[in-house]
Amino acid sequence: MAKDFKPKARRPRGFQDRRGPGLAAERALVAKIAAVYEAWGFEGLETSAFEYADALGKFLPDQDRPNEGVFALEDDDGQWMALRYDLTAPLARFTAENYDALPKPYRRWAAGPVWRNEKPGPGRFREFWQCDADTVGTASPAADAEMIAVACAALEAAGLKPGQYRININTRRLLNGVLASIGADDPAKRLTVLRAIDKLDRLGVEGVRLLLGKGRKDESGDFTRGAGLSDADAERVIAFVSAGRGERDETLRALSDVVVANAETDAGLVELRAINDALRGLGIADAQARFDPGIVRGLEYYTGPVFEAELIGAEDEDENRIRYGSVGGGGRYDDLVARFTGQLVPATGFSIGVSRLATALQAMSEADAEGPVVILALDQARMGAYLAMAQELRAAGVRAEVYLGQSGMKAQMKYADRRGAPIAVIEGGDEVAKGVVTLKDLKLGAALAREIEDNDAWRKGRPAQVETQRSDLVEAVTRMLAENAPARSD
């Protein structure tokens, strides 16, 4: 290498540098989640970053890619080692090695970084933290229900409120029964059907219907070959994945009506009913955990119930709920230890993606955060008066700023909206003449504006807009903030 060579300072793709605040936030999340796991009786376990590659095979995304997805190296004894892909494969190896010495069921929790050799993208990293809880050695549906309940407790300990998250639940036994009822016995065909169902959230019912049939062409013109089901069989699958309802009992009744009775669907319904009874005993409401027949997860991984944690934010301007996607999931994987010993040992678990949860919590916090009161600068000659208003508000403990740009009123109001301002203070020529200021509650005004159907009503009503004496500015602003706080937080 030449003496004057200077390497370019660059971070590998898909990896992050984390500084104080972000790092502290993630570690605080781990501590809160771990405290919940400990309170529920799970024992901490720490395993090494590397595992032998052959111990990870079953736990890669798909069986058709057995040697991809991990960062591997060959040891000096000729054996291949890989950075762990998740925290479950190390648990499988540890359980197999120490099975006789472990209490059964064995309840363990673990936290740490995992590595995936996959194409990085927005919010998709090659290294990230997980925090898991698992119960090994019991086939009881109560253990699956407990995983769902402990996930609810962990998410709330992380700072979420009921209504900001939901655990979606399904079972692979129902899926298997539906596949059997349409004669999807070929493994490749079954996998294609499951992959189509897994795209329900992204593509909707019509997109899934196309993938169940001949195939689908996306917006770029790329064609994805479908499962080749008949129209009748495709509709049977669509009816199944669309059977979810707001309440678990209602979904169970709907599923009973749409699935064809066979050994697997009967067993799946029994499984979900038992989970429902246990969740009721654990105090988990329908709003916290619901049955969703469209949940697939782990195409070559899970053997029974599956769960996925979804974050749900507040409503946007169009009254649509903001969804931040999945921040965790899990389910039953009864083949865990059998790969090593040949002995079937049932197991169930839940994993929270700490890095993704931390990012989502930050986004939710920013979305909920209220900006400063913005004082419009409609007359540059009165800038001193505007700055004095801001000073008075700040002295009273109110966040405030003056618009310091050169744009007109429309642009200034747009600026206040983008800043998340709760109130805009307006003092134009008319207000100066009367010795008043106009206070416009921007958040409440936006809510009321959705109920106004025409411009005349808007002009007559002037929603959420009041005049107050200039001398009463501070009192009027603080009163408006206090009165409308509940409306803004609903």
Roughly how many angstroms between the first and final C-alpha of the chain, as a whole number? Answer: 63
**Fold type of domain 371-489:** Rossmann fold (3.40.50)
Extended beta strands in 13-118, E state: 43-44, 50-52, 72-74, 80-83, 106-115
* Successive 10-residue mean pLDDT values, the chain, 490 residues: 81 87 88 97 97 73 54 89 92 94 96 90 84 96 97 95 92 92 86 88 89 88 88 92 93 94 94 97 96 84 92 59 78 89 93 89 72 92 94 94 91 88 92 94 59 44 76 93 60
Looking at the chain, which residues constitute the CATH 3.30.930.10 domain(s)?
20-367
- In which residue ranges of the chain is CATH 3.40.50.800 found? 371-489
Instruction: Tell me the CA distances in angstroms from 383 to 231, 378, 428, one per residue in order.
Output: 70, 9, 12
CA dist., res. 13 & res. 212, Å (int): 35
Contacts of 15 (CB under 8 A, 6+ apart): 125, 126, 127
- So what's the pLDDT on residue 487? 43
Distance CA 133, CA 96 (A): 18
Q: Which amino acid is at 22?
A: G
pLDDT reported for residue 63: 43
pTM for the predicted model, two decimal places: 0.74
Rg of the chain in Å (alpha carbons): 28
Q: Class for domain 20-367, per CATH? A: alpha beta
Residue 440 Rama label (left phi>0; alpha psi -120 to 50; beta): beta
State the DSSP code for 124. Answer: B
